[in-house]
Amino acid sequence: MRRHITRQLAQFQDESTSRKISVAAQPGRDDELRNPRSAQAIHLKPLRRTPKHGVPSCDLQLRSYSIQPLEFFSDFALRAAYYLGLPAFGPVPLPRITERWTVPRDHFIFKKSQENFERKTLRRMIQIQDGNPETVQLWLAYLRKHQYYGIGMKANFWEFGSTQVENPVQSLDGGSGELMAVWEHLGQTKSLTEEEAEEMLSRGRLGDSLCVSRAMPRSTHPTA
């Protein structure tokens, strides 16, 4: 009996010493690896910017037939707005759109029996307040680039300008200058005269197909 007790005591002492060694060998909690803040933020609610004036700049409406991709993309849109510095409000649930169709079940003798089909469209709205128009356009372009499958988007955005009335002549001059700057990059860079255009049309098969008479060369000597 005494030998059995001594053996149990020896085993208990060996286990206690091994536990102490393993605890001492483990690194501290400060040395443990942790996920970066960006990865930890996935499991938290999206951060939001505080609007200063509360003036709406854009209303983004998201639509889907299932709730899971709709909530996922709404969360993605809010996080993208935060990192672009846009104050976002939402997502606000909108009323469902319910559509029903009644069609014949089959043809011939089974056409008297009918069946019903129903489709429910779920909607969420995200509003951007006090946003710069260029930043809002960048946000919408980023969402279109990374659009999730089964998600439809509809955006209404507003731009605010000055109330001063410009001179119509100055506005036309400025608009023509902008148009010329754009048209310079299209087609020919050199404008053609009427003679050059007629000569180009009268060359070869193009002139024959257009029934344009070829220009006769002018004689250098006067006729008698």
Model pLDDT for residues 185-224, shown as the tens digit of each residue: 665 556 667 787 777 777 766 556 556 555 444 545 555 4
Q: Residue written as tokens 């955005």? A: 157
pLDDT of 138 over the 70 cut: yes
pLDDT of residue 190: 61
Q: What is the pTM of this model?
A: 0.56
pLDDT at residue 54 is higher than 80: yes
65/96 Cα distance (integer angstroms): 10
Q: For residue 131, is pLDDT > 50?
A: yes
Q: How far apart (Å, rounded) are the C-alpha atoms in residues 150 and 67?
A: 10
pLDDT for position 23: 42
What does the pLDDT read at residue 48? 87
Mean pLDDT of 71-89: 91
Please report the pLDDT score of residue 104 as a whole number: 86
Q: What ranges do the domains of the chain cover? A: 55-159
Give per-residue burial for 149-178: e unless 16+ CB within 10 Å, then b.
eebeeebebeeeeeeeeeeeeeeeeeeeee
pLDDT band for position 74 (50/70/90)? very high
55-159 has which CATH code?
3.30.70.600
pLDDT (mean) for 53-78: 91
Share the mean pLDDT of the chain: 76
